Amino acid sequence: MSLLALAVTGRGLCPPAAPVLRADDEALLRGRAAFETLRVYGGRPFRLEEHLDRLQASAQSIGLPPLGRDELAELAALVLPAAGSGDAVLRLVWTAGPAEGPPLGLALLGPIPGWIEEVRARGAKAVSLLGVRAAVPWLLPGVKSTSYAVNMAAEAEAHRRGADEAIFVDAEGIVLEGTVTNVWWRRGRTLFTPALELGILAGVTRAALLELAPGAGYEVEEGVYPLAALREADEAFTSSSVRELMPVVELDGRPLGRGPAADELQAALRALAAKV
């Protein structure tokens, strides 16, 4: 992502290309950092407090020095004016720092990637790939750490297979989540999404959709579902802060229906974001 603005703990606003990380920061050496990516709508971050809550929980799970929550909120406030009254991507990072400390906090503001609306318009192709069900604390269930090389490798494999995104299933074929998204599908008026007990990330967008679905006339079931349930759905979509709702029109080379729920809930999400 090309940066529009950058703010750093102890330094405030810095030129976007300024070097800010020490070479012995454990974030670099061992991936010991937590991060959040959120969408800025009309210059205002959507659900910043929820993202800070999750960042705090991630930092604790990884054993990082306690999160400077107020500091990070101040850094976010420093970079947000670069969005003007437009949309943008806000990234917050909290690193372990060098072994003797201190931790480092970063706020990065960048543009919304241009491909998102193109793919939303045509619908995404997805492939299912084997993923790990994080069933024990040391596999960091629900933690958003910067150790995302596996997720990025899965996304690259999806692209290699001619798809836009990958959906992880565990060794028993249970649907987990996307590489950077939560997964949803619809049968009739019921929406299904994997339960958080599967060790998946508690998406902030997922939570917003759980609130919005009843108002759009859908019931939601959270549970443990085999890939066949997704394959046989009337429609499917993924959710994330930056991509919002992305209709999935093909899974493992087989077409999936394109239905109304993804579009209706996308509109409801935008309406909610416009209100706050």
Ligand X SMILES: Cc1ncc(COP(=O)(O)O)c(C=O)c1O
Q: How far is the CB of 101 from ligand X (least distance, A)?
A: 27
Taking the C-alpha atoms of residue 69 and residue 56, their distance in angstroms, rounded to an integer, is 8
Report the sign of the C-alpha dihedral through residues 176, 182, 184, 190, in that order.
positive
Q: How far is the CB of 38 from ligand X (least distance, A)?
A: 7
Q: How far, in whole angstroms, is CA 153 from its chain's centroid?
A: 16
**Residues making contact with ligand X (CB under 6 A):** 37, 177, 180-182, 201, 203-206, 239-241
Beta carbon nearer to ligand X, 107 or 201: 201
Do the Cβ atoms of 231 and 251 come closer than 8 Å? Answer: yes
Q: How far is the CB of 22 from ligand X (least distance, A)?
A: 26
Q: How far is the CB of 241 from ligand X (least distance, A)?
A: 3
Beta carbon nearer to ligand X, 46 or 97: 46
Beta carbon nearer to ligand X, 82 or 201: 201
Residues 193, 199, 200: CA angle, nearest 5 degrees: 50
Beta carbon nearer to ligand X, 105 or 203: 203
Beta carbon nearer to ligand X, 32 or 206: 206
Taking the C-alpha atoms of residue 214 and residue 93, their distance in angstroms, rounded to an integer, is 34
Q: How far is the CB of 177 from ligand X (least distance, A)?
A: 4
Q: How far is the CB of 243 from ligand X (least distance, A)?
A: 8
Q: How far is the CB of 180 from ligand X (least distance, A)?
A: 4
Beta carbon nearer to ligand X, 8 or 204: 204
Q: How far, in whole angstroms, is CA 70 from its chain's centroid?
A: 22
Beta carbon nearer to ligand X, 14 or 87: 87
